[in-house]
Chain A
Amino acid sequence: MQRVFVTGMGVVSSLGLGHEEFWDAIVHGRTGFSPIEGFGTEGLDRSVAGEVRDFHARDFLSHAEARRMGRCSAFSLAAARMAVQEAALAPSHLKGERTSVIVGTTMGEADVIGELEHAWIHRGADAVRTARMPMYGTTLLPIHLARAFGARGMVQTLPAACAAGNYAIAFAADLIREGRADVVITGASELLQQHQFAGFVRLGAVAPERCQPFDKNRKGIIIGEGSAILVLESEAHAVRRNATALAEVGGSGLACDAHHITRPHPDGEGSLRAMREAIARSGVSADDIDFVNAHGTGTQANDKIESQVIGEVFGGRDIPVSSLKSMLGHCMGAASALEAVSCVMTVQTGVFPPTMSYETPDPECDVNLVANRAARGKADIVLNNSLAFGGYDAVVAFARPGVLPEMPRPILQ
């Protein structure tokens, strides 16, 4: 089976554009939270988010591209251009049927639909701009990218709630292993949108100012937005063009709790299976894992159950654990893609990102947290956890190139 490598990464986030800025902010423990500027939050009692500022689509997109796509697609294309540039992929490498694009999201072009609905509700059908309507299609996220790079292979959007990034990356890697593509441009994108923000506030899930994963006094999520796109390549393709492998994509575990649409399974049933599967499919054992990038949303339920699951998977071993959401907020569908970028950086640098705003240990969250300050350590194989609403559990392993054994073949019937 083909090995799959990450050869390029691009980021649009509240912590900066490009993975260098993003990673610099992370290792220094900067947070991307501020009062929301994009829309009013009157009466909601919550007003802070990880909003992307200073993003100008035209810095990355042609005039025609900027005109034909919404902000979510613009995030994706900007991140994809950065990723392709880092991968040093010439246009000739991407053109054609062997390049696919798989993008995850939760709500896609939420701004476009918000604008259309707003016009319709307040001013009637005649006020709805016809030219904007086709831009809503969630289908378009990967199609805009395929057009930009001349990719002619499969295009697909995979909405999997807040595990969408990992779902996309896992499926993209499987497509390459199955020989259905040489290169897959993959990742996920999400917008902060007015009504979705209100919805999460109404769910009682949003914290007032800070996100404090695994802290005893954690008060919930801070919503974020952004995009991370990775270039995945088959080993043969990467070797042929002499590419630099940033990390190997290891095994992935996908499972569904089938328990509740917003609450995790009380025993973390699906999460446990997904973590164990990702480890087994990487051809290693739990003892070989060096770090866990936790889903760590900062909600009471998630952090408690996730701690329990991590304890069970690693048999009480003090494996370093951290949650980027303390700095980045919860970028929904894009979260695990952004965290995948951070995992690759951890594998490259041996630096574990800190979990900021950690003050009071919680006996129910008994994990070896990288608290408030980045740490260093062996980082050959790391796990990226994504344990989303709806019980969508997706865990992906990333490894330093050359570390993983040959992946075990699946049992074929």
Chain B
Amino acid sequence: MRPLAITGVGLVSPLGVGYGALCQAIADHGRIGSSAFRSRCTVFDPEKIEAPLAAEAWDFDATEYLGKKGLRNFDRLTRFLLVSAKHALEHAGLKLDGEHRVYGGERVGVCSATAYGSLDSITELVEVAELEDPRFLNPNRFPNTVINTAAGYVSIREDLRAPNVTVVDGNCGALDAVLNAETHLHNDRADAFLVGGGEVLSDPLYLAFRKLGALAEEPERYAPGSAEGYGMRLGEGAAYLCVEHDGRATERGARVLGRVVGYGNAFEPPQSEAALVHASPLALERAIAMALDDAGLGPDDLDLVCASMNGLGPFDRAELEALDRSVGPELPVVLPKALIGETFGAGGALGAMWALAAFEGLPVGPLLRGTIAGRPERALVVAVGFYGNASALVLSR
């Protein structure tokens, strides 16, 4: 692929709002440990979810960043995306005081991923319809049940009139969004894109994964990438990377935080006809090979892997197997989800922050293996889906 410059980042995470806050937290990982996971979550209804343990975007208050007006009908995902978008555009210098400063609004687009996006709004709708009366449904909140509405509000609020694309590919969505953006940039449909994704905690999401027996709910027992396979913990957040053609970014003197230089995606079906959920080392291996080929690089050119491992035994093992075969066991592997949990559609974009932090020269962690010597030049960001899908992205300094 033709390299894309990352010129700005905006994010909401359990470790803080904004690129600087998350980078600081990543650098401090040794001291804060797993403190992003707490049991006193405010997003869950205590009558529905007993004793949850999750990484909420603690103390997130959209009005701090967006003001108080016009937020009433926005759900949590929309608020995450709006804050991330505003910060990313300002960080990249594309907007200042609400005005477009570099490209016209018709030349800036959005490629936004989510896996379960509107689940809390759907629940709200169903509860009103079934426990009260369908005639009481709030028409101003009904659009929130549509998956792409949250990203739609980003275009409306920020006046971004180039294509607005929502991508769903489970945990891989945010990385796939990058290919969408690259394709549209290359086809001259825009000059810049916000790419990334968002995911929010909700009662039905927590309940579903608890019922599936997928959650690591004992206090000390959570270790992505370990042999124990205690299970995963849920997190939430959103991240947008502002990407532009590399040449254009350099030309306008933008600060470049990193570059996207390769992308790969693959799917492998399970052997069993009856199976649905499926961990495939082969899919990730192929996605990595494709991403490296796309970047014109080999495994030896990489300095760091930002893993997708979330504590689910079979998936972590599949990922390790693929990494061993594709890039070898020596390469340092960092575990973003050990700090913020599984954030599904946002996972790839938030995971990429560990690579950008490493490019800045910050000490990133926690590391599953290896040590980082010097300032990494190139990183591989991977995502493993639940159904045999996998994606990989190569980032460069």
Contacts and interface: CB of A to CB of B under 8 A. Distances in A.
Q: Do A and B bind each other?
A: yes
Interface of A: 43-44, 62, 64, 67-68, 97, 105-108, 113-114, 116-118, 120-122, 125, 128, 130, 133-135, 137-140, 143, 146-147, 150-161, 167, 171, 174-175, 178, 194-196, 198-204, 254-262, 269-270, 273, 277, 389-392, 410-413
A258 B161 CA distance: 6
Contacts of B319: none
Given A107-B145, A117-B204, A413-B248, A137 B387 contact: yes
B168 A157 contact: yes
B182 to A, nearest CB: 9
A159 B48 CA distance: 30
Contact of B123 (A68, A117, A254, A259): A117
Closest 6 pairs between A and B when the two form their complex, measured CB to CB: A390-B152, A198-B134, A159-B147, A254-B163, A157-B168, A199-B142
B67 to A, nearest CB: 19
Interface string B379-397: 0000001111100000000
Interface residues of B, number: 79
6 contacts: A143-B267, A196-B145, A257-B161, A390-B146, A392-B152, A410-B186
Q: Is the interface of B mostly helix, strand, loop or mixed?
A: mixed
A55 to B, nearest CB: 22
Interface stretch (B217-225, B229-237, B268-276, B304-312): B268-276
Contacts of B269: 146-147, 150
A44 B136 CA distance: 10
B159 A121 contact: no
Given A107-B146, A258-B159, A261-B156, A139 B268 contact: no
Most chain A CB within 10 A, of B126, B147, B153, B184, is at B147
A68 B277 CA distance: 10
B176 A392 contact: no
B133 to A, nearest CB: 7
Most chain A CB within 10 A, of B135, B155, B265, is at B155
Contacts of B68: none
Contacts of B161: 255-258, 269-270, 273
A155 B146 contact: no
B64 interface: no
Nearest to B159: A258
A255 B387 contact: no
Contacts of B95: none
B247 A154 contact: no
B188 to A, nearest CB: 4
Most chain A CB within 10 A, of B130, B158, B163, B212, is at B163
B186 A153 contact: no
Given A159-B148, A199-B137, A391-B155, A152 B266 contact: yes
A161 B183 CA distance: 21
Nearest to A198: B134
Contacts of B180: 171
B115 interface: yes
A392 B143 CA distance: 14
Given A147-B269, A202-B142, A413-B247, A258 B183 contact: no
